[in-house]
Structure 1
Amino acid sequence: MLSGLLVRALRLSPRSTTGLLSISSRVPLPCLRQTTPNCTPISTLSRPRLCPSYFSGFSPSRPTPSLTAKSAPKQQQQHSPRFFSSNNGGAYGQQTAAQQLPVLSPPAVGNWLLLSSTLVIAVIVVGGVTRLTESGLSITEWRPITGVLPPLSLTEWEDEFEKYKATPEFRLLNSRMSLDDFKSIYYMEWGHRMLGRTIGLAFVLPLGYFALRRRLARSLRTPLLGLATLLGAQGVLGWYMVQSGLEPANFTADGAVPRVSQYRLAAHLGAALVLYAGMFAAAFAVKDDWRFARQGTWGRLVDGRSWEEVLRNPVVRRFKVHAAVVTGLVLLTALSGAFVAGLDAGLMYNEFPLMNGRLAPPLSELLSPHYATAAATTTDNNSSTGLWRNFFENPTTVQFDHRVLATTTYFATALLFASSRRAAIRAALPPLALRTTTALFLMANVQVALGISTLLYLVPVPLAAAHQAGSVMLLTAAIHVLLALRRPGAAALAWRQANLARRAGATATTARESPKLM
């Protein structure tokens, strides 16, 4: 019988012969008979087939390579479980079920994205401290490559100090600064830029590695490419912001204070928040999809409900819309805080909840004609007119807007938390959504306390930095609520279905092969 098989193998194409030879060493002999109860006769096949009972499980970490001597030269690779599948009824030589499944990103991708998002939090906080210590204008040139090293000699330090002396900030505010004082603010800004470069390398290099190794799910490729592009643009935007504080023409008006444009500062912070939100959401999506594909767990459900049943519930849909509104309010409030920081508006009306004994300043102060017409109120040298400019250039109006947005965000968060305590909604939501909603409300209380303390104590650096970090953590909690109600990705659904089919096939095979009880 074996000699007949060899003759038949020699008549096959070289590729088919290789496949037969690679399989002959590991297929049980009964499976190579002309006919078996569970195998199609070999004479009817263009390529050999394996008995369904021989296939075992596979791992969703990557597509299974074809079973040839070239792709699996080692005996231990040939017998590895990830080289087999039962989804195709046991057909060999054709694409296995694992090959047909989409790529599912492994947990390593999620860990990398989570590390990148943590670095973005760090650079946001360091950037806030840089602004609070008025260090951001100490480096007057943008040198992405050569700027990696700080000045290393006294001559180099003196050269950098001379460049700083030519800036409006030195002439108008720091004319008595010594070289040692300059070094302290220089190192702060240099550290901020170095942390930005570190994030670039920590994100782009692993992104290239995972892309080359085909570890990125299809749904991740475009978003991650967009985040990489935004990360590169963030460096350009940061220098564009610094430039606004170095131009002497922007500070010709009487009483003008050298500072960067509040518009560009808000854009710089907004881009950082978008980067963070994208990385954080992608990280948890990868981890959740992997867990769902392997274990079938979603939302920490323990009552037997499926994710489809939960997400189809109208109560859950309305709750998710409410959570999305809260997330948008958190982001908008954080951006309004950038205008407060850019105009030093936190140094006005250092009381809460009143402003000079009133809930709101006089309308004439909120909508001042001076800020509606004066071109010198903005470092972007925009000469357009309109009362709307008060919302972005009038320190009083900017602080009032931030108060209103912060209060609105807090009560919207409290309402979301209160609704999650209702019996009907509590029963409909998955446990993970309930826990993240509670964490969101707790963080909102912490953030309100930090904001009020920062205002009452005239914006000390530690409190102000903690308040800025708190805004990122509040955004994190809001995004986590939405992730708790996220639908599993297409790749995770495909792998989960394949795993269920494999287990069902293995159970059926075990039942057929087990001896009958007498």
Structure 2
Amino acid sequence: MSGKRSIFEEVTEDTPKATAQPGLIDRGRGGARRAIRAWLMVLFALVVVMIAVGGLTRLTDSGLSITEWRPVTGAIPPTSAADWEAEFDKYRQIDQWRIQNQWMELADFKEIYWWEWGHRQLGRVIGLVWALGFLGFLAARQIPAGWTGRLLLPGLLGGLQGAVGWWMVASGVTQGEGMTSVASYRLAVHLGLAFVILGFLGWYVLLLGRTERDLMQARRAKEAKLFSLGTGLMHFAFLQILLGALVAGIDAGRSFTDWPLMGGQILPPDALILEPAWRNFFENPGLVQWIHRVSGYLLLIFGIVAWMRGRHSAHARTRFAFNAVFAALSLQILVGIATVIYAAPWQVAIVHQLIAVLLWSLILRARFLSAYPVSTSLRDVPK
């Protein structure tokens, strides 16, 4: 910096020019934002694949093929004929084989075993990718200020998810209790937690895509009512995902294949046949599917309200985000109807589950843009 100058001193072209100083908001706070964002995007993609593989594992009735929880040694599959026979013997001791799969030979068992092993192995890969990334950025001191706890959270939830996964499987690994599948309640918790992890990862990716200064400025233009609608839509969609897990857990999607009626009437027959009555809302296939259907209709109505409000946003990207949400929601309703009509074949059912992932992600993005809108020209504002 040059010394003091007299106010009467003549300024010439040789006088050094003062350089503009950048804002202080991001100084010392940036860290490796781009690299961390890329790492989180990889984790996001892996969790999406995990949800798909988990859905296929359920649809192929493969989830109970491995009857033990061995987080470390379980990574090594059977390598010899004796090892395969030992694994098959363990499976033949549980109710699913005794009641449902006595026809299976070793070759049939291997098919369902590989699905479950692949599902668990992918979980280990996700945990390893998170741990290497988190510890690497932490050791390099490249984590932005205030982000250590945020980046730790997905790892903690991932560890919890592994425990919940075994808690779910253990409900179906029974002898003499007549269980041929996992408990639908536990399946709902397992799937719900996967979407929670996906939600945090997606939100962090969106935040890291913009600088702290940009976020602070954008927050001043927050559209509070639209953000509230986006939040409500997110929660409603999450509820519908949990209801879908209850449907899947008891194969309720195959109980009635007519639409829009069920068994020729509005409320399915024998809707309250189980005792006590509350069990029907969770274990009666007809009533569970009916609840899922009605919730879907209500979600569509809520989605239309949010979409109509989103169309009047002052920001073009926010309007487009809510258009995308409505398009995905409409597609999901149509695929859901097709899933029912065709008695939930695995090809259609897995598409239904993946569109739920897409819808969830788009709702998160629309909600984010409501809170942190991207400024647009006044000429872009709808009349």
Structure 1 residue aligned with 2:305, among 415, 439, 455?
415
- Structure 2: distance between partners of 1:100 and 1:288: 14
Counterpart residue identity of residue 350, structure 2: A
Which position in structure 1 is the counterpart of 2:378? none
**Following TM superposition, by how much is the alpha carbon of 1:245 offset from its aligned partner in structure 2, in angstroms?**
0.5
Q: Please, which of 74, 81, 86 is the counterpart of residue 147 of structure 1?
A: 74
Encode CA deviations 1:66-118: one digit per residue, 9 max, x unaligned. Answer: xxxxxxxxxxxxxxxxxxx677xxxxxxxxx6997434551111111111011
Cα pair distance change 1:357/1:158, threshold 3 Å: same
What CA deviation, in whole Å up to 9, does each residue of 1:418-438 have, x standing for no partner? 2333xxx34xx3221111101
| Aligned equivalent of 1:474 | 359
2:197 to 268, 275, 278: 275
Q: Indicate how the Cα distance of structure 1 residues 391 and 289 shifts in structure 2: closer, same or farther if over 3 A, else same.
A: farther
> Could you tell me how far apart the structure 2 residues matched to 1:53 and 1:371 are?
85
Shift of 1:475: 0.6
Amino acid at match of 1:367: L
Structure 1 contact 105–286 (Cα < 8 Å) conserved: no
Q: SS state of the match for residue 248, structure 1?
A: coil
**Number of the residue aligned with 1:508:** none
Q: 1:416: how far off?
A: 1.6
Aligned residue for 1:112? 39
1:451-481 C-alpha deviation (Å, 9 max, x unpaired): 1111111111111111111111111111111
Whole-Å separation in 1 of the counterparts to 2:63 and 2:263? 32
CA distance in 2, matches of 1:86, 1:283: 25
**Aligned-pair CA distance for 1:310:** 2.6
Deviation at 1:142, TM superposition (A): 1.2
The aligned residue for residue 339 of structure 1 is 246
Once the two structures are superposed, the pairs formed by residues 78-227 of structure 1 within 5 Å of their partners are 101-227=28-154
Partner amino acid for 2:352? H
Asked if 2 retains the 8 angstrom alpha-carbon contact of 1:454 and 1:467, the reply is: yes
Partner residue in 1 for 2:260: 353
Taking the aligned partners of 2:163 and 2:176, their CA distance within structure 1 comes to 21
The question of whether the paired residues in 2 share the 8 Å contact of 1:371 and 1:393 is answered with no
Q: Are 2:218 and 1:307 aligned?
A: yes
> What displacement does 1:149 show?
1.7
1:106-140 CA-partner distances (Å, limit 9, x unpaired):
11111111110111011011101001100011111
TM-score normalised over the length of structure 1: 0.66
Distance 2:248 2:16 in 1: 67
Alignment identity in percent?
A: 34
The answer to whether residue 1 in structure 2 is matched with residue 37 in structure 1 is no
Offset at residue 54 of structure 1 (A): 6.9
Query: 1:153-188, CA deviations, whole angstroms, 9 ceiling, x for partnerless residues?
Result: 111111111111111111111111011111111111
Rg larger in structure? 1
Aligned equivalents of 2:158, 2:316: Cα separation in 1:
35
**What's the offset of the Cα at 1:487?**
4.1
CA contact (8 A) 1:220 1:282 kept: no
Q: Which runs of 5+ in 1 are unaligned?
A: 1-26, 39-50, 57-84, 88-96, 252-256, 299-305, 373-386, 489-518
Please report the TM-score for the alignment, with normalisation by the length of structure 2: 0.89
C-alpha distance in 1, partners of 2:16/2:171? Answer: 70
Match of 1:497 in 2: none
Q: Output the CA distance in 2 between the equivalents of 1:167 and 1:414.
A: 47
Distance 1:396 1:52 in 2: 81
1:287 is matched with 209
Indicate the residue corresponding to 2:380 in structure 1: none
Amino acid at match of 2:337: I
**Using a 3 Å threshold, how does the CA distance of structure 1 residues 289 and 86 change in structure 2: closer, same or farther?**
closer
User: 2:184 touches 2:246 (CA, 8 Å); kept in 1?
Assistant: yes
Displacement of 1:55 in angstroms is: 5.9
Q: How many residues matched?
A: 365
Cα 1:308/1:286, change in 2 over 3 Å:
closer
Q: Distance in 1 between matches of 2:357 and 2:220?
A: 32
CA contact (8 A) 2:26 2:211 kept: no
**Partners of 2:227 and 2:371 within 8 A in 1:** no
Aligned partner letter, 2:207 = A
Partner amino acid, structure 2, of 1:206: G
What's the CA shift string for 1:297-329, capped at 9, x where partnerless? 99xxxxxxx635532xxxx32122111111111
1:245 aligns with 2:172: yes
- 3-state DSSP class of the match of 1:142? coil
**How much has 1:356 moved relative to structure 2?**
1.4
- Are the equivalent residues in 2 in contact too, given 1:310–1:430 (CA < 8 A)? no
The CA distance in 1 between the partners of 2:182 and 2:85, in whole Å, is 24
Q: 1:143 to 1:308 in 2, by over 3 A?
A: closer
CA distance in 2, matches of 1:98, 1:152: 57
Task: String of CA shifts for 1:5-52, please: whole Å, max 9, x gaps.
Answer: xxxxxxxxxxxxxxxxxxxxxx8xxx4xxx5429xxxxxxxxxxxx99
Residues 86 and 283 of structure 1: is their aligned pair in 2 closer, same or farther, counting only changes over 3 Å?
Answer: closer
**Residue 485 and residue 420 in structure 1: after superposition, are their counterparts in 2 closer, same or farther (change >3 A)?**
closer
1:324 counterpart residue number: 231
Q: Following the alignment from structure 2 to structure 1, what is the Cα–Cα distance between the partners of residues 198 and 250?
A: 25
Q: Which runs of 5+ in 2 are unaligned?
A: 7-14, 374-383
For 1:213, the aligned partner's letter is A
